[in-house]
Amino acid sequence: MTPTATQLVIEIAYLVATALFILSLKWLSAPSTARRGVRAGEIGMVLAIGGTLLRHGIVEYQWILIALVLGSVIGIPLGLVKMTAVPQRTALSHACGALCVTLVGTAEFYLRSPNVPRFMMAVLCLEVILGSLTFTGSLMATGKLQEILPQRPITYRGQNLVNLSLLAISMVLAVVLVFHPGHKSLFPLIVFIPLVFGVMMIVPIGGADMPTVISLLNSYAGLSAAAMGFVLDSKLLIIAGALDGSSGFILSVIMSKAMNRSFSNVLFGAFGQVQTTAASAQEAQPVHSATAEEAAGILASANTVVIVPGYGMAVAQAQHKVRELFDVLTKKGIDVKFGIHPVAGRMPGHMNVLLAEADIPYDRLLDMDSINPDFPQTDVVLIIGANDVTNPAARTDHASPIYGMPILDVDKARTVMVIKRSMNPGFAGIDNPLYYEDKTLMLFGDARGFVGDIVRELTGGSGH
Ligand code: NAP
């Protein structure tokens, strides 16, 4: 191929890759198109890598080949982890991306210094600062989620001041470098200080808040990649980084809103420290409990049923049993829908992915805003391992830590049945007044076992 023809092929590959990245994000936003979204992203990435490998700037392929083999050897097993480990796996990917961005930025600085124009130096500094803090921050997040590091928030006096000072010092050094790019001795500091900041930033954040923090780190990784795009003069990187940066940020905002938390509360609030005490202080109140046989009878006589899954369904891996229950009830002519809260479970889309894995039809999964108006006309709500996302205290109790959090209005249905193992609280560590209402029946047991028992009762003991 002539150089101009090669250039044309590269440009087309990049253009198609860009379009595929945008479409991928669009398709990923609905369960019915999510698989297509993943494929589009994968093909886009292959085109982006392929196009880059054709570039004439590359003089030797052997190191690239070694890196490609090494990356695949690490990447393939990472892609096969269990679904409950996806948050930490994602954090680890961010760490790798951020390390790469930092190394490229460092190399570019030493190649170009002292002849670095101001704008270029500013984006280089941004790239390296964000890359470094995302690298160590993501490693810390992985450690907390994998429980290699203590999950509880670790706090000390003046912590926020120390952290913000570290960030401020990095910024000041960056400004000095922008005006004096020949000060090579300062550069290691704008790598090292954000590396320390990344660790310190995660220390006060509880393990359960990590999914929100990970999507924020995702955003930082994207922004640093976009900055790298300016440094390397790659429009594709700028676009991909900007998409990554903005989508990560939007996701963090959605998650914070759905948990009724502000960003600063997630980052500086040390949430998770006082949670369990609130519940244990509660006085024991009577609840109505029922057996699988009774629950099956109630379900069989309903016309409309809404199933509300939560973290407990994920822990129990009950999704396939839930699918059996859905089939049995649907065969009986009962209208069965699923009410999905945006932060049910422990990661974005957790419930959607589990229910999709069990092949529950997508049109039966309704998000909170769509299902809430249906509850007053619903005969039975069956809650499977969900707690906080159904807690009416979020609407009524001004003193509750989740006051203001939008919830699924399950208490408006005629009958509510809750499968959980005990009266223990969920993530927020608070009692749920729903359990003491007359219309609520507690079905104590493991989600998978209990749903299986209900299915057996409904099918006359034969299972499904
Ligand atoms: P939740 O409030 O944490 O409650 C889960 C319930 O499941 C617990 O009360 C637990 O009670 C029960 N459970 C656990 N294992 C079970 C099993 N094997 N069988 C049956 N039940 C079991 O969960 P949620 O209602 O899904 O709410 C999610 C919470 O996580 C929200 O507070 C949200 O803000 C937070 N969060 C979500 C995300 C996200 O991205 N989705 C991220 C960070 C934080 P027992 O122990 O009595 O069984």
Query: Does the beta carbon of 347 sit less than 6 angstroms from any atom of ligand 1?
Result: yes
Cα–Cα distance measured from residue 181 to residue 127, given in angstroms and rounded to the nearest whole number: 15
Identify which of 57, 44, 60 has the alpha carbon closest to the alpha carbon of residue 6: 57
Q: Atom 9 of ligand 1 has which residue's CA nearest to it? A: 426
What pLDDT is recorded for position 207?
A: 67
Ligand 1 centroid – CA 123 distance (Å):
42
Bridge partners for 332 per DSSP: none
Torsion sign, CA atoms 85, 450, 32, 379: negative
pLDDT value of position 190: 96
The answer, yes or no, to whether the previous bond of 87 is cis (omega within 30 of 0) is no
- pLDDT of the residue at 276: 44
CB of 443 sitting under 6 A from ligand 1: no
User: In sequence order, what are the beta bridge partners of 304?
Assistant: 335
Give average pLDDT by consecutive 10-residue segment, the chain, 464 residues. 85 96 92 91 95 85 92 91 83 93 95 92 96 96 88 84 94 96 94 96 79 86 94 92 92 82 68 45 78 97 97 95 97 97 87 91 93 97 96 90 89 97 91 96 97 95 57
> What are the residue ranges of helices labelled H in 154-209?
159-179, 187-202
> Nearest Cα to 221, choosing from 125, 101, 78?
101
DSSP letter for each residue of 357-422: HTT--GGGEEEHHHHGGGGGG-SEEEEES--GGG-THHHH-TTSTTTT-----GGGSSEEEEEESS
Catalytic residue among 209, 374, 388, 453: 388
Which pair of structure tokens corresponds to residue 193? Answer: 């200080």
Residue 344, both tokens: 């049910």
Helix or strand run (H / E) with residue 339:
strand 335-340
Name the residue at shortest CA distance from atom 29 of ligand 1: 427
Pocket test for ligand 1, best of 317, 382, 384, 421 (most atoms within 8 A of CB): 421
Q: Is 388 a catalytic residue?
A: yes
What secondary structure letter does DSSP report for 399?
T
Ligand 1 mutation pick, 403, 427, 453, max ligand atoms within 8 A of CB: 427
pTM value is 0.80
Q: How many residues does the chain have?
A: 464
Helix and strand totals (H; E) in the chain = 18, 6
Residue 273: the pLDDT is: 46
Q: How far apart are CA 181 and CA 221, in angstroms?
A: 24
CA 448-80-452 angle, to 5 degrees, is 10
Report the alpha-carbon distance of residue 145 to residue 142 in Å, rounded. 5
